[in-house]
């Protein structure tokens, strides 16, 4: 296949992955302020989109980790071809779409790494992957960051309730945290753009280096930064309501003080990781923070069944995306016909998932409905939400009291 054509295809696919990353990870910043009523759903995602766009311009350290770290450089340059990067992106996108369908806040970052690693092993051999970099910059942060964010969120929640303990039992005593959530969730959105948009920048830069169109060891070009920033911002604005429901209601019932503590912990962890060049999963950090805040509020409970499903998704992400990427790389090895087959299959899977999602739509109007209790179906949860709306006038005063 003509080199220019495959590069154009890879860049287009990378930007589509960036788009899926945006709507897949909107929940990281905006699930809790939407759940507590700090911001209206559509306003929240619009703000997140703008801040993702701005954040993408603040750093390129993570992009350099991907473009010049995970895949080794041999005597002839980077040991991966644009065709293999194309296959890796197919693996990442397919896994992103599957987890989105089930409302699982899995890691777009690890889906990308898994797809690239699987494709690289098939096409260039296991020696093409620098597993020390993978361990240092990907796996260890994946294990440490959620726990760290959870501990910080737990401590911050305890501190917030201790400082405001004089408001215990008073209606809306801690309602001021809603205003704090606007700031803290905005900081998470900014951090998300700083960390996640760079991953696509790194993939495009890796492609240009592999094709000999850019010098090895250099960072992303300005046009790459701009296009990736726009792609993730547009994806963020499109919603991601399924995962917003899971993080906002599925793990624990979030109150304003909890939400503020969770978002602040998430932002601090992500920004520190971006500065160090760690390709962190914002999803894992946000989930750890929500769980930590749930444990930190007296009388709150964590839905461990949902947390377990999310954890299984985390464990499966790298190998599952890697397997899909490896299969796509095998097919791509057939030449131009293989690339065409990969493209058709990828479009078919994405289209099928979108069609399946229409059977149980989640949108801005129902994303913050009460989450199903253990053993309860989503249909039953929706019915429960309808009943709650019918008695809304009777619950108004109670809602104010519970906001504490």
- 375, pLDDT greater than 50: no
323 is a domain residue? yes
Residue where the block lists tokens 């053993």: 375
Confidence of residue 351 (pLDDT cuts 50, 70, 90): very high
pLDDT at 56: 80
Q: How many degrees, rounded to 5, is the angle at CA 286 between CA 285 and CA 287?
A: 90
396 is a domain residue? no
CA distance 186 to 260: 11
Q: Do the beta carbons of residue 364 and residue 374 sit within 8 Å?
A: no
Confidence of residue 285 (pLDDT cuts 50, 70, 90): confident
Query: Which range marks the domain in which residue 57 is found?
Result: 3-164+180-371
CA distance 105 to 282: 10
18 is a domain residue? yes
- 399, pLDDT greater than 60: no
Query: Structural domain tally of the chain?
Result: 1
CA distance 115 to 132: 18
Q: Do the beta carbons of residue 137 and residue 367 sit within 8 Å?
A: no
pLDDT at 59: 65
Mean local confidence (pLDDT), 314-321: 91
230 is a domain residue? yes
384 is a domain residue? no
Mean pLDDT over the full length of the chain: 80
400 is a domain residue? no
Label each residue of 360-385 as H, E or C.
HCCCCCCCCCCCCCCCCCHHHHHHHH
Confidence of residue 227 (pLDDT cuts 50, 70, 90): very high
303 is a domain residue? yes
pLDDT at 373: 45
- 22, pLDDT greater than 60: yes
Residue where the block lists tokens 């990308």: 112
Cut 0.85: pTM above it? no
Alpha-carbon distance values, 315 to 27, 199, 306, 370 (Å): 20, 20, 15, 27
CA distance 209 to 222: 15
Mean local confidence (pLDDT), 349-374: 76
- 389, pLDDT greater than 80: no
Say how many C-beta atoms besides its own lie within 10 A of residue 86's C-beta: 29
Assigned token pair, 111: 């889906």
**Strand, coil or helix: 71:** strand
């Amino acid at each position: 296949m003509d080199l220019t054509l495959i590069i154009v295809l890879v860049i287009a696919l990378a930007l589509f992955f960036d788009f899926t990353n945006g709507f897949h990870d909107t929940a990281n910043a905006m699930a809790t302020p939407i759940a507590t009523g700090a911001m209206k759903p559509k306003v929240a995602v619009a703000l997140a989109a703008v801040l993702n766009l701005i954040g993408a311009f603040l750093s390129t350290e993570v992009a350099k980790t991907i473009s010049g770290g995970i895949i080794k450089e041999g005597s002839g340059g980077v040991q991966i071809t644009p065709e293999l990067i194309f296959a890796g992106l197919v693996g990442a996108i397919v896994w992103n779409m599957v987890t989105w369908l089930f409302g699982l806040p899995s890691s777009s970052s690890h889906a990308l790494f898994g797809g690239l690693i699987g494709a690289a092993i098939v096409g260039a051999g296991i020696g093409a992957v620098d597993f020390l970099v993978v361990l240092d910059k990907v796996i260890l942060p994946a294990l440490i960051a959620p726990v760290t964010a959870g501990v910080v969120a737990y401590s911050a929640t305890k501190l917030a309730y201790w400082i405001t303990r004089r408001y215990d039992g008073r209606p809306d005593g801690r309602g001021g945290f809603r205003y704090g959530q606007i700031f803290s969730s905005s900081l998470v959105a900014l951090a998300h753009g700083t960390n996640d948009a760079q991953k696509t920048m790194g993939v495009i830069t890796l492609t240009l280096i592999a094709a000999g169109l850019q010098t090895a060891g250099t960072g992303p070009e300005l046009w790459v930064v701009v296009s990736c920033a726009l792609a993730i911002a547009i994806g963020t604005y499109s919603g991601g309501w399924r995962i917003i429901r899971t993080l906002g209601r599925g793990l624990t019932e979030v109150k304003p003080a909890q939400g503020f503590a969770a978002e602040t912990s998430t932002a601090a962890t992500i920004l520190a990781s971006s500065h160090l060049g760690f390709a962190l999963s914002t999803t894992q950090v946000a989930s750890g923070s929500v769980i930590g805040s749930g444990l930190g509020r007296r009388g709150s409970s964590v839905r461990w069944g949902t947390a377990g499903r999310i954890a299984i998704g985390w464990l499966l992400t790298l190998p599952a995306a890697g397997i899909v990427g490896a299969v796509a790389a095998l097919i791509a090895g057939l030449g131009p016909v293989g690339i065409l087959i990969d493209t058709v299959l990828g479009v078919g899977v994405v289209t099928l998932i979108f069609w399946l999602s229409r059977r149980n739509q989640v949108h801005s109007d129902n994303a913050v409905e009460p989450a199903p209790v253990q053993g309860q179906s989503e249909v039953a949860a929706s019915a429960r939400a309808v009943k709650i709306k019918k008695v809304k006038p009777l619950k108004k005063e109670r809602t104010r009291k519970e906001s504490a």
